[in-house]
Amino acid sequence: MKKILIIEDNQQNMYLISFILKKHGYNVIKAFTGQEGIQKAMENHPDLIIMDYQLPDKDGIQVTKEIRKQKGFEEIPIVFCSSNVLKGDREKAFSVGANEYLEKPIIPEEFIKEINKFF
Domain topology for 3-116: Rossmann fold (3.40.50)
Render each residue's pLDDT in the chain as its tens digit; 119 residues. 999 999 999 999 999 999 999 999 999 999 999 999 999 999 999 999 999 999 999 999 999 999 999 999 999 999 999 886 778 899 999 999 999 999 999 999 999 999 999 99
The helix (H) or strand (E) run that includes residue 112 is helix 108-116
The C-alpha atoms of residue 75 and residue 8 are separated, in whole angstroms, by 21
The C-alpha atoms of residue 19 and residue 66 are separated, in whole angstroms, by 27
Contact predicate 49/77, CB 8 Å: yes
The beta strands (E) that lie in the chain are given as 3-7, 27-31, 48-51, 78-82, 100-103
